[in-house]
Amino acid sequence: MPIDGYALMARTFQQLAPIPPAQMQACLRLFKPRFLDAEQVWLHAGEATDQVGFLVDGLLRFYYLTADGLEWTKSFCLAGDLIGGYRALLLNEPCQFTIETLLPSHYLVAKYADFAGLVNQHPCWDHLLRRVAESLFIKKEQRESSLLLDDATTRYQRFLVDFSAVAGVIKQYHIASYLGITPVSLSRIRRQLRAD
């Protein structure tokens, strides 16, 4: 049975902040359903964006591409997460990273300007966006401290906990790039953990 994306978005938002029914309906009307197959790009690095999304089902990867062609995974996006290049949206500049699907993905998308216009209509949206920003800040701080303080094995073990539902479908070289190590190093870590 297909997932009702609008119901999922409404539930997710309501868990973060109380949204009056009229405001929720106005929000849901802004978003349109979209689908992408696996390994398709949602947003290319260097492109400007005017869209914000909500992932209903699937898996996305946000990654940077270096000048010498190396990919470094910034984050993974799971069902129930918001999608977008927020810095690019807020500063009206090109996005610095690429967003691609790793699995066939169903999402809802709206024009950022339309969503921003709705946000200005009622204080419930300030509460919601504050909670979203707090959650993103906490995730970013945890990831930063892990990259700076934890060894690669600890980072991999944390990844397996944080992404337990999808760790088995993410390619090993994507996991390695998320952990900040080479695929060879990840293979060594996995082999050592299996031996222990």
134 in any annotated domain: no
Residue 1's pLDDT is 42
Confidence (pLDDT) at 157: 96
Q: List the chain residues with pLDDT less than 70.
A: 1-2
CATH number of the domain to which 73 belongs: 2.60.120.10
Residue 143 lies in a domain: no
Range of the domain at 23: 5-122
Task: Say how far apart CA 89 and CA 78 lie, in whole Å.
Answer: 21
The total number of structural domains in the chain stands at 1
**Model confidence pLDDT, tens digit, residues 12-21:** 999 999 999 9
pLDDT at residue 2 in the model: 57
Does any domain span residue 147?
A: no
Residue 170 lies in a domain: no
Does 140 map to a domain?
no
Note whether residue 169 is domain-resident: no
Question: Residue 59 contacts by C-beta under 8 Å, 6 or more apart in sequence?
Answer: 76, 77, 78, 101, 102, 103, 105, 166, 169, 170
